Chains A and B, each alone.
Chain A
């Protein structure tokens, strides 16, 4: 059980580090990369919760989250290529 808790805390720690990178940037792509990593960690965290609570149903949510995470990154990049976010952050 202690091992389980340690693994969960480690995932939360890496989530926090990735979130910090998303906040400080500096390039837009650093932020998107960090957000992508936050998404991957969230998938792992949901799978971890599914195991902890013994409810395999949560795994479906993890799978869906992975899907949405991927689509989100692609959508942001496509939107950026089209509009450049109004030129606020040129690089």
Chain B
């Protein structure tokens, strides 16, 4: 019982610490694009460790399954939100620090567009 509590506590603390590191990265990195990378920490490993710490606390119940579903949902949505942010930042003319304008893709008029003939 104590071992389970310790494991759950360790996962919780690790997840929370990663969350703080991600938020610090939001302030230490120079521009939007680099900050988006730091935000990626909080969406993946931080949430994963934190939620699994809580799930261990709940034990084998439906609540743990729900926590797993929350994590799965975050895994599916966070890259989409991140991509949408970066794409519209680029479309608005915001250039990344230190990297400049992006190289054109094979056909030039299509930044961020899906393939026209799937």
Apart from the given pairs A28-B92, A80-B92, 4 other A-B contacts in the complex at a CB distance below 8 Å: A7-B16, A33-B26, A77-B85, A77-B88
Quick one: closest B residue to A14, CB to CB? B23
Given known contacts A41-B42, A56-B62, A63 and B23 CB-to-CB distance under 8 angstroms: no
Which one, A28, A37, A67, A90, contacts B42 given CB within 8 A? A37
Given known contacts A20-B27, A91-B93, A33 and B50 CB-to-CB distance under 8 angstroms: no
Quick one: closest A residue to B58, CB to CB? A51
Please count how many residues in chain A sit with their CB below 8 Å of the partner chain's CB atoms. Answer: 47
Q: Which of chain B's residues have a CB closer than 8 A to the CB of A34?
A: 26
Q: Which of chain B's residues have a CB closer than 8 A to the CB of A8?
A: 16
Which residues of A come within 8 Å of B, CB atoms? 3-4, 6-8, 10-11, 13-15, 17-18, 20-21, 27-30, 32-34, 36-37, 40-41, 43-44, 47-48, 50-51, 56, 59-60, 62-63, 66-67, 70, 73-74, 77, 80-81, 84, 90-91
What 8 A-B pairs come out closest when comparing CB atoms?
A10-B16, A17-B23, A3-B9, A14-B23, A56-B63, A70-B77, A7-B12, A7-B16
Q: What DSSP secondary structure best describes chain B's contact surface? A: helix
Annotate B18-38 by CB proximity to A: 1 below 8 A, 0 otherwise. Answer: 011011101100011001100
Which one, B24, B50, B66, B73, contacts A44 given CB within 8 A? B50
Please count how many residues in chain B sit with their CB below 8 Å of the partner chain's CB atoms. Answer: 49
Which residues of B come within 8 Å of A, CB atoms? 9, 12-13, 15-17, 19-20, 22-24, 26-27, 31-32, 35-36, 39, 42-43, 46-47, 50-51, 53-54, 57-58, 61-63, 66-67, 69-70, 73-74, 77-78, 80-81, 84-85, 88-89, 91-94
Given known contacts A18-B23, A50-B63, A33 and B54 CB-to-CB distance under 8 angstroms: no
Q: Are A73 and B81 in contact (CB under 8 A)?
A: yes
A47 to B65, CA, bound (A): 13
Which one, B31, B70, B85, B89, contacts A43 given CB within 8 A? B70
Q: Which of chain A's residues have a CB closer than 8 A to the CB of B94?
A: 27, 29, 91
